[in-house]
Amino acid sequence: MSLINRIEISNFVCLFGPEAPDKDWSPQFRHNLLNLRSHSAAISMPNGMGKTSLADAVIAVLSRDRTLVTQTREKMAPALYGAYSHIRVELKIPSAGSHNDMLVNNGEEIPGETWVFGICGFRGQSQSMTFYYYKGRLDDCPVAKVDGHRITLLS
């Protein structure tokens, strides 16, 4: 069974809502990396901050459900912003013999093979959106450069 190791979201969900003009694009998730370490986790944020949008986007990546993909596309950056929106999920396939006991592995890296599944693109039906996957880690194909508190989204 595959486990979600990390989730990376960049340039996703406008602070001003889906009705905001493209010129007013300001992403709620500029570049966020959720390191779950292949363990059970809960996400706690105030109402209206994007928990449901985040969950729907992750499920859209993994299932390609048309309704969720459409909803996710509506929350992506407009093309004039210049940098794609990315939703990426790093899955871990635990090595044979590794413990699946949550209490034993609490806080430890679970050994195994990693794969990344993701989507990138812009909002709007006329814009392209790409599903992709590769064997490796999120770090193998960065979508942002982080230098202290400065984040630069890569095209």
pLDDT tens string 110-126: 888 999 999 999 988 77
| Predicted TM-score (pTM) of this structure | 0.87
pLDDT tens string 73-99: 999 999 888 889 999 999 999 887 655
**pLDDT value of residue 57:** 96
- 2/7: higher pLDDT: 7
Which positions ≥6 away from 61 have C-beta within 8 Å?
87, 88, 89, 117, 118, 119, 131
Q: Judge whether 40 and 102 are in contact, CB under 8 Å.
A: yes
31 has a pLDDT exceeding 90? yes
The H or E element spanning position 70 is helix 66-74
